Structure 1
Amino acid sequence: MFKEQVLRLMDRAEEQIQGKLKEIDGIIDRNQWKVISAFQKHKVSDFHFAGSTGYGYNDRGREVLDLVYADVFGAEAALVRPHFVSGTHTISTALFGVLRPGDGLLMITGRPYDTLHKVIGKQGDGLGSLQDFGIGYDEVPLLDDGRPDYSEIARRITPQTKVIGIQRSRGYSWRPSFTVEQIGEMVRFVKEVRSDLIVFVDNCYGEFTELREPTEAGADLIAGSLIKNPGGGLAASGGYIAGKSKYVELASYRLTAPGIGGEVGAMLGTTRSIYQGLFLAPHLVGQAVKGSVFAASVFEQLGFVTHPRWQDPRTDLIQAIRFSGPEHLIAFVQGIQQAAAVDSHVVPEPWDMPGYEHPVIMAAGTFISGGSLELSADAPIREPYIAYMQGGLTYSHCKMGVLTALQNMIDRGLLPEI
């Protein structure tokens, strides 16, 4: 399947990263035990998997699912629903839940991920964005080394500021993703400036990559997507919001309606897959993280710049690899698609994807459409030419994807023979 020189590079990479893989296994074990303990505490049984219809009143499976998620994330409460259509929808629901006209949102980790730009919006845009509703917005750029600019954060907090926003993952930027420990430092700092500030964390791509979650480090509210880490490759749709009870309740009123909140919502046969996906998530996230470490090792040996490097601490799934031009970038992403079990025959091309500011190429041969716990890769076609690889339900598939992408680049004459 692969040329001999590609396999030799694989062997060198696996020898290099053995200690890192063992470290990841330890994180998998402890997160798996944490999830099972939450199931046991709330006496999860097969009758909790039954579906509900109509209003979904008294759906005990849905109610216990919220309790299990709250425990897993070290939170007071959680809202877990298939009705969230994406991570962006879930984050939007959380922000609209706690912000009111005249309030302000301050992002302290730089410009957020592209799909949130329309949620933030601008005054009078007529789209129903935050700013269209009279909610102020500001953001503090990160320092050149990727750290928060604490002096500028303190200066930008105004009497109108109500929510401090933190994006845990790098998004489409060449900066480190933030560890839970670093998020805890940010929380402590802003609470010292003003103790009544609500700290919200976009937790997408980060769940189960470490032993703690941001809510266990002081964050008031977090949100994420079920077709990323916590859905375990089985949840067909959905998202979760977790944190302090009063803020989760406010978010629930935005998902449904004031006075109704999380008391309703037919699960329509999705409950079993959401429970089972959560059960599998720690192991599958660990497989994906191993794949990212492997990718970093392989491409570093070839002289490419990666972020994070193979030996660096991991706090999300994303592996960024910087290429010298669009041809290398496109060949890499198309190689990831070629390694898919689903739609391997499809050739992705850059296109003007809704919600993004530049043409984007996406490799996503997945069982769940857009499921980025599964092996995928995407990139905006802009300088610097950086591919963002994430996911992989098995470490073997991750390796196959990396090696296929590498061989694709060699076959196109974009790399010298190894």
Structure 2
Amino acid sequence: MLTEDILCKQFGISKDVFNYVANIEKNIKDKYFKKIELVREYNQYKVINAMQEHNLDYTNFYWNTGYGYDDIGREKTEKIFASVFNTEDALVRPSIASGTHALYLTLSSILQYDDEVIAISGKPYDTLLTVLGEEGNEPGNLKESGIKYKEIPLYNSEIDWERAIKEITMKTKLLMIQRSTGYSFRSALTLTKIKTAIDKIREVYPNIYIMVDNCYGEFIDDIEPSDVGADVIVGSLIKNPGGGIALSGGYVAGKKEIINRVANRLTAPGVGKEIGLTYGTTRNTLQGLFFAPHIVSEALKGAILFGGVFSSLGYEVTPTLDDERSDIIQAIKFNNKDMVVKICEAIQSSSPVDAHVAPMPWEMPGYTNQVIMASGAFISGSSIELSADAPMRAPYIAYIQGGLFYDHAKLGVMLSLQKLLDFDDIKNKIHLK
């Protein structure tokens, strides 16, 4: 009963809320957590094997100054990432500021004037629309460079590969797939669905480039999009693969010719991967990768608890408990602006850092609507740490992700319910149960 005492006395959680969450937790643990543990175990050994394969040693954590020539740790890190993702090569750098930056680098290095890119998984995440030039008019967007863009909506939550094949023209150079849900209300695309689409498209267009935005999806399964035919995958180190330890950065992993182009875009043609300081981050990056399979499994368990609790209260959630998961995000549809703000306040108040700060909607760069973000993280903006965000637009959906430890996610669930007791609908349902 010690856990109940500290949660109720120190965090102000009522016994009704504690008991409600405990009952839901009891029902989901045996049914859903075992599969997550099996995937975690497999991926943990995969990461260890990659580090041993490339003879990672303590001296690899040292780093150079100036141009960064002959940085053995940087080179070793990129070989390890390539092995983990089963690709020919990888670019892993702290100078890649975000997942969006990694996507922009990849798109702008592959695409040239008059080329066309097609998003075959529906509308991309908000920040990428700005990159593409579809929203806003920021200098340097791809449309400004003469690159054409089309998108194909999902059909019954699957990639409409038949339509994609029809839409491809002589100008189409790259197809783009966003694995994660983003700010839509759909389950993330499973690797089975991604593989089916890639296989069908390759039958007709064997040489077209296919890129997968892998953000939030790493280590969810025992394979990655690069194992099912993607030419290049892209992600952020302050999401899944950084394990909550990486200080910053992003990665691009794929075919060697693509990585060479991306490296030339990041630095300069002719020097590519040979330069670029790591600023002493190699240890954090690799230790984060080592932690990542376990951390992702903890985040997944937390997402399932959030989904189980709020679906039991009658709210529409995606993915549902029985859906196959392909990212760490749990979306909850409230149809109520105030409830979205409250749940973000609750997530913030459960944080070890900045718990006293109240998140507020604001005009965030790269977004067309105001966005509220709760992220009391050790690494600023880290969404593998427990966090929540929502664009302030109907139908008012909160997107919850991360949690370095399941216990932290459980605290977030309980504080969310406690905050939402201000709404009679939730209060009555909890008391009735």
- Cross-structure match for 1:258: 269
Structure 2 letter corresponding to 1:24: I
Cα distance between partner residues in 1 of 2:166 and 2:405:
46
- 1:242-391 to structure 2, matched below 5 A, reads 242-391=253-402
Deviation at 1:411, TM superposition (A): 3.7
8 A Cα contact 1:351 1:360, kept in partner: yes
**TM-score, length of structure 2 as denominator length:** 0.94
Cα distance between partner residues in 1 of 2:148 and 2:312:
46
Structure 1 letter corresponding to 2:35: E
- Cross-structure match for 1:140: 152
Cα distance between partner residues in 2 of 1:26 and 1:116:
34
Residue 403 to residue 127, structure 1, CA distance change in 2 (3 Å): same
Cα distance between partner residues in 2 of 1:268 and 1:221:
26
Cα distance between partner residues in 1 of 2:75 and 2:427:
57
8 A Cα contact 1:123 1:133, kept in partner: no
8 A Cα contact 1:122 1:130, kept in partner: no
Cα distance between partner residues in 1 of 2:179 and 2:235:
11
- Cross-structure match for 1:165: 176
CA deviations on 1:52-87 (whole Å, 9 max, x unpaired) are 211111111110111000000011110000000111
Deviation at 1:124, TM superposition (A): 12
8 A Cα contact 1:110 1:139, kept in partner: yes
Deviation at 1:123, TM superposition (A): 11
8 A Cα contact 2:387 2:402, kept in partner: yes
Cα distance between partner residues in 2 of 1:353 and 1:297:
31
Q: Does 1:42 align with 2:54?
A: yes
| Overall identity of the aligned pairs, in % | 46
- Cross-structure match for 1:238: 249
CA deviations on 1:232-269 (whole Å, 9 max, x unpaired) are 11111100000111111111111111111111111111
8 A Cα contact 1:6 1:403, kept in partner: yes
Residue 320 to residue 122, structure 1, CA distance change in 2 (3 Å): closer
Q: Does 1:215 align with 2:226?
A: yes
The farther-off stretch of 25-34 and 8-17 is 8-17
Cα distance between partner residues in 2 of 1:123 and 1:7:
44
- 1:386-397 to structure 2, matched below 5 A, reads 386-397=397-408
Residue 124 to residue 372, structure 1, CA distance change in 2 (3 Å): closer
Structure 2 letter corresponding to 1:389: I
- Cross-structure match for 1:71: 83
8 A Cα contact 1:123 1:132, kept in partner: no
CA deviations on 1:292-331 (whole Å, 9 max, x unpaired) are 0011111111111110112322111100001131111111
Residue 34 to residue 126, structure 1, CA distance change in 2 (3 Å): closer
Deviation at 1:138, TM superposition (A): 0.7
- Cross-structure match for 1:23: 35
CA deviations on 1:153-190 (whole Å, 9 max, x unpaired) are 12210100000000000100011211112111121122
Deviation at 1:122, TM superposition (A): 5.6
Structure 1 letter corresponding to 2:278: M
SS in 2 for 1:83: coil
Gaps of 5+ in 2: 1-7
Residue 123 to residue 282, structure 1, CA distance change in 2 (3 Å): closer
Structure 1 letter corresponding to 2:50: A
Match of 1:103 among 102, 110, 115: 115
Q: Does 1:55 align with 2:60?
A: no
Cα distance between partner residues in 2 of 1:122 and 1:8:
48
SS in 1 for 2:144: helix
Structure 2 letter corresponding to 1:141: P
Cα distance between partner residues in 2 of 1:296 and 1:80:
33
Cα distance between partner residues in 2 of 1:332 and 1:154:
42
Deviation at 1:212, TM superposition (A): 0.5
8 A Cα contact 2:130 2:136, kept in partner: no
Cα distance between partner residues in 2 of 1:327 and 1:129:
35
Residue 229 to residue 126, structure 1, CA distance change in 2 (3 Å): closer
Cα distance between partner residues in 2 of 1:248 and 1:183:
22
8 A Cα contact 2:89 2:254, kept in partner: yes
Cα distance between partner residues in 1 of 2:135 and 2:298:
44
Deviation at 1:130, TM superposition (A): 1.1
Structure 2 letter corresponding to 1:100: Q
The farther-off stretch of 147-156 and 94-103 is 147-156
- Cross-structure match for 2:200: 189
- Cross-structure match for 1:175: 186
Deviation at 1:195, TM superposition (A): 1.1
Cα distance between partner residues in 2 of 1:106 and 1:251:
19
- Cross-structure match for 2:414: 403
Cα distance between partner residues in 2 of 1:372 and 1:72:
21
Residue 66 to residue 12, structure 1, CA distance change in 2 (3 Å): same
The farther-off stretch of 403-412 and 288-297 is 403-412
Residue 123 to residue 371, structure 1, CA distance change in 2 (3 Å): closer
Cα distance between partner residues in 2 of 1:49 and 1:138:
43
Give runs of ≥4 in structure 1 deviating > 4 Å.
Answer: 122-126
8 A Cα contact 2:159 2:194, kept in partner: no
The alignment of Structure 1 onto Structure 2 pairs a total of residues equal to 417
Q: Does 1:204 align with 2:224?
A: no
SS in 1 for 2:300: helix
8 A Cα contact 1:70 1:242, kept in partner: yes
Cα distance between partner residues in 1 of 2:137 and 2:321:
43
Match of 1:88 among 93, 100, 114: 100
Cα distance between partner residues in 2 of 1:158 and 1:149:
16
Residue 152 to residue 415, structure 1, CA distance change in 2 (3 Å): same
